[in-house]
Amino acid sequence: MPNFKFHIVTSPYDPRFCAIKRKPETILKAWRLREGALFGADFPSTARFEMDKRAGDMTPDLLPNVLSLLMISSRVRALFEAERVSDVEYLPFELANKRGSVVSRDYSVANLIGGVDCLDAARSKFDEDPLEPGGIANLYKLNLHLDRIPEDKKLFRLKQMMHEFIIRSDLLQLLREQGVTGLATLDLDTEIIL
C-alpha cells in the first residue's frame, strides 16, 4: 500500500454557509446514521432537512451539521462513486430553506457502513466513553495503526468513535482539486478537541 496520510473530516466555519441542526421527524431510528448501520429502504423518500434560521443561506458541497452526518452534493457523490469509495449507501433527501420551501433535491447522506478498528490508543489522547466500553467520548489527539486500514478504505468511520469520518490523502487531494466546498480536515497526531 502506498504511503497515504489520513485526516479527520470536519466543517469549516463560514457564516455564509447554511447549517443543519435538526433531523426530520420522518426518519425513525436515526441512531443508525451515527452508528454506521445500514439504513436501506427504511430511509424515507420524503426526508427533508431544513436550514437552521441562525446560519447562512449558501449551500456548499458538504453541508455543515450538528447531526454527525456526511451530507454531500451529487457532485461529491459522483466523485465518491468514481473513486470507488467502499461500504457506503447514499440516502437522498430534500434540502429546505429557512421558510420550509425545498431548494434542492441534489443532496444525499453518505452513510458509511461499519467502522475500522485502527486506533493507536498508546499514541492517541482521549477520554473513554463511560457509556460505551472501548468507545471514545472526547478526542484530543488521534493516531492510527495504518497497517490495520484495508487498502480499499479511502473514507471510513473510526470504530471507537463512529460519528467521526477519516479520509485518505489521495481522496482529499482530489476533492480539493475539484473545488469541493464545505470541506475541512484536521491532521492526525496534532492537538485537537472533538
Tens-digit pLDDT profile for residues 95-130: 999 999 999 999 999 999 999 999 999 999 999 999
Confidence label for 142 from pLDDT (cuts 50, 70 and 90): very high
Residue 190 has what DSSP assignment?
Answer: S
How confident is the prediction for the chain on average, in pLDDT? 94
Residues 26-82 pLDDT 10s:
999 888 998 999 998 899 988 999 999 999 999 999 999 999 999 999 999 999 999
Average pLDDT over residues 142-166: 95
Altogether, the residues listed in the chain come to a count of 194
Q: Count Cα atoms within 13 angstroms, Cβ side, for 151.
A: 2
Query: How many degrees, rounded to 5, is the angle at CA 156 between CA 152 and CA 158?
Result: 125
Q: Identify the H or E element spanning 177.
A: helix 169-177
The model carries a pTM of: 0.93
pLDDT greater than 70 at residue 16: yes
Confidence label for 2 from pLDDT (cuts 50, 70 and 90): low
Residue 148 backbone dihedrals phi, psi, to 5 degrees: -95, 0
**Which residues share a beta bridge with 89?**
111
Render 16-38 in DSSP notation, one character per residue: TB--B----TT-TTTHHHHHT--
Rounded Cα–Cα distance for residues 12 and 74 (Å) = 20
| Cα-to-chain-centroid distance, residue 38 | 15
Cell numbers linked to 14? 463560514
